[in-house]
Amino acid sequence: MAIRVLPPEVAAQIAAGEVVERPASVVKELVENALDAGADTISVRLVGGGKRLIEVADNGSGIPADEVELAFSRYATSKLTSIEDLDRLQTLGFRGEALASIAAVSQLTITTRARAEAMGTRLRLEGGEIVSREVVGAPTGTLIAVENLFYNVPARLKFLRKDSTERKHVSMLVSRYAIAYPDVRFSLMQGGQEVLRTTGSGDLRDILGEVYGTEIAVRMLEIEAVGGEEWREDLPPIRVTGFVAPPELNRANRSQITLFVNGRWIQDSSLTYAVVQAYHTMLMTGRYPIALIMISLPPEEVDVNVHPTKAQVRFRHPDAVFSAVQRAVRRTLVDQAPARTVQEGVFWGSPEWAARRERLAQVTSRRMQQAGLGLEIDSPGRRASQQQSGKEETPSAPSRRRALPVLRVIGQVGATYIVAEGPEGLYLIDQHAAHERILYEQFMAERAGEAIHSQELLEAVTVELMPEQMALVEGSLDELLAVGFGVEMFGRNTIRLRAVPALVAHGDPVEAFLAALNEIECGEMPTEATAEEKLIARVCKQAAIKAGQILSYAEMEALVRQLEDCQSPRTCPHGRPTMLHISAEQLAREFGRLGAI
Ligand code: ADP
Ligand code: MG
């Protein structure tokens, strides 16, 4: 093919792809423009997850009538004139690309009036082409309506996710900006419902309550600003403010670590790591904090011109920023959340060990009844009753070849592992992984039967969620129901949990539900069947006996018996081993008995 210059509309669509990825990126650019225009009220409205309509209204400066068209040309900006201006940038925008990009891939209507002018202007563009212009009466400020995003770029349209996912991204974005700009009144309407409203009072706790729910908001710790004695002459002044959650409030992924640099929401894996590092030893592996970190530093210390979406920055002194963040978070935790270090089941040699041994000795079978761990001590339990109800027995009949020999329980070590003896040697069983496996197979057996047994809670529990979680629940009611969670929308940002899977009914229903939600959130859109299996695996993990939980002999027996019944007893549903096997031969070798007389 011969080399040709692309037609302008194709070039514009390609360039737009860098800025506009999904509805949330449109909202981000429009909200940033509104903030740059000095607005103190910003309203965002979505229809159809933003695919049908995204509307952002502000009461900022507005655009003068004779500049409105210009605002839609590529590289047209009022925020910068020379490259040196980048070093003293006070605005969020500077590339002059956003409006041109958004207009190129949608049908856009702008209504705007500059403060000094009597009348406003309304301009309509389709695929970047101006199709109409009129003079209209309008309040000061700007209203931009973006309809049918990607209507002319089918390839992009295909990549948009379901409405609830797109809504989630938008509410995540708007709520983060609401927190970073507490003096601005934000509201977010999605499909006719108000999901977020802040007062603009400047009171951060208020906004945290709106965004995270009051329960979490009251527990968040405010980062203490670094004191004067810690400034170093050779380093730039870096101010770190914001909020972090105490270690016991944690999440299974990093998505709740939010970073702002000079009022700009950014993504930075190194700074995210700095936050996680600050929680070192306070969080179990695989758990992540909730944190809101706002970094202020002189504009010349940060290069925001890294990518068209302006979501990444480069620091002139990255190490200084890293350690400022880490220190600020660490100190807040140490001062305000007295150390509650988690020991992952390692008790030997620790000062607690003596006390534990004492308690271990006292464990009687009576305790097992009180503990109510949901382990069936006698085999005529659930399985038998299922049989009675005429349900066909899954291939766990006695004739089935066992994947595991019958084991004799010897005891528990480190409140974490069960020691057992079998014909083939010694077995060390990870009680948590083993229970996870057992619950998982029971779940899957139920699912193979028909529906998973769901148990109504005696009293429905209300759970407060974040707006993006609400969107997620709303979009996943069916998935949740399929694995046994009965959920009901209950007003703004609140749901009622009516039922949980019967198999995990002995545990904390809210924890089990949040675990399921987390799985959906992290889901990579696999096929429905595997998604459900993953969901079940996650719920089992949450509901399983934990490391560090002291078990009675009878409980251990029950656990091992049920493990013997499993089809794949040697790994947990997440693939970790449930047991270590040391063969009799290996033992003999280790003790130098092999080959000896
Ligand atoms: P940038 O923000 O990088 O300057 P944009 O394409 O986002 O580029 O916007 C182009 C110009 O349009 C801005 O520089 C600003 O002058 C004007 N503008 C855009 N949105 C608004 C708004 N909500 N209120 C006032 N002026 C706006
Ligand atoms: Mg802009």
What's the one-letter identity of residue 187? S
Could you tell me the distance, in angstroms and rounded to a whole number, from the CA of residue 61 to the centre of ligand 1? 10
Question: CA angle, 362 as apex, 361 and 367 as ends, to 5°?
Answer: 125
Ligand nearest the Cα of residue 61 is: 1
Buried b (16+ CB within 10 A) or exposed e, 540-572: bbbbbbebbbebbebbbbbbbbbbbbbeebbeb
CA distances from 593 to 425, 427, 546, 586 (A): 15, 20, 37, 10
Highest mean pLDDT among 111-125, 271-285, 355-369: 111-125
Minimum mean pLDDT range among 23-32, 192-201, 315-324, 381-390: 381-390
Arithmetic mean of pLDDT, 160-172? 91
**Who wins on pLDDT, 303 or 381?**
303
Q: Per-residue pLDDT averaged across 383-403, rounded?
A: 40
Neighbouring-strand partners of residue 506: none
Q: Ligand 1 pocket: which residues have CB below 6 Å?
A: 29, 33-34, 37, 58, 60-63, 71, 76-79, 93-100, 142
The bound ligand whose nearest atom lies closest to the alpha carbon of 101 is 1
Length of the chain, in residues: 597
Query: Does the structure show a pLDDT above 80 at 564?
Result: yes
Q: What sections of 267-312 are H helices per DSSP?
A: 269-278
Question: Residue 226 has what pLDDT?
Answer: 61
Residue 365 has what pLDDT?
33
For residues 321 and 76, give the distance between their C-alpha atoms in angstroms, rounded to a whole number: 32
Q: What is the DSSP string of 477-513?
A: HHHHHHTT-EEEE-STTEEEEEEEEGGGTTS-HHHHH
User: Which of 93-102, 106-115, 538-547, 551-560 has the highest mean predicted lDDT (pLDDT)?
Assistant: 106-115
Task: Report the residue among 25, 28, 33 best suited for mutation to probe ligand 1: largest number of ligand atoms under 8 A from its CB.
Answer: 33
Name the packing angle between helices 163-180 and 204-212 (round to 10°). 170
- In the reported structure, the alpha carbon of residue 33 is separated from the centroid of ligand 1 by a whole-number distance in angstroms of 5
The answer to whether residue 338 scores a pLDDT higher than 80 is no
Output the residue whose Cα is nearest ligand 1's atom 13.
77
For atom 7 of ligand 1, the residue with the nearest CA is 98
Helix, strand, or coil (residue 124): strand
The confidence score (pLDDT) of residue 373 equals 46
Distance in angstroms between the alpha carbons of the first and the last residue of the chain:
82
Which atom of ligand 1 is the closest one to the Cα of 61? 25
Tell me: pLDDT of 377 over 60: no
Q: What is the CB neighbour count within 10 angstroms for residue 414?
A: 17
pLDDT at position 11: 87
Q: What confidence tier does 479 reach under pLDDT thresholds 50, 70, 90?
A: confident
Distance CA 177, CA 156 (A): 26
C-alpha distances (whole Å) from 91 to each of 79, 177, 239, 310, 452 are: 7, 14, 19, 12, 54
Average pLDDT over residues 567-592: 80
In single-letter form, the type of residue at position 238 comes to I
pLDDT at 594: 63
**Mean per-residue pLDDT for 222-232?**
65
Burial state string for 369-387 with b = 16 or more CB within 10 A and e = fewer than 16: eebebbbbeeeeeebeebe
**Which pLDDT value is given to residue 189?**
96
Nearest Cα neighbor of 509 from 547, 470, 462, 560 is 462
Domains in the chain, CATH or no CATH each: 8-198 (3.30.565.10), 219-336 (3.30.230.10), 353-385+403-583 (3.30.1540.20)
- Which ligand 1 atom lies nearest to the CA of residue 101? 6
Distances (CA, A) of 85 to 88, 132, 299: 5, 35, 10
Whether 121 has a pLDDT exceeding 70, the answer reads yes
At residue 234, does pLDDT exceed 80?
A: no
Atom of ligand 1 nearest to the CA of 76: 10
* Range with lowest mean pLDDT among 167-171, 198-202, 269-273, 562-566: 562-566
pLDDT at 390: 38
Atom of ligand 1 nearest to the CA of 58: 23
| pLDDT exceeds 90 at position 39 | yes
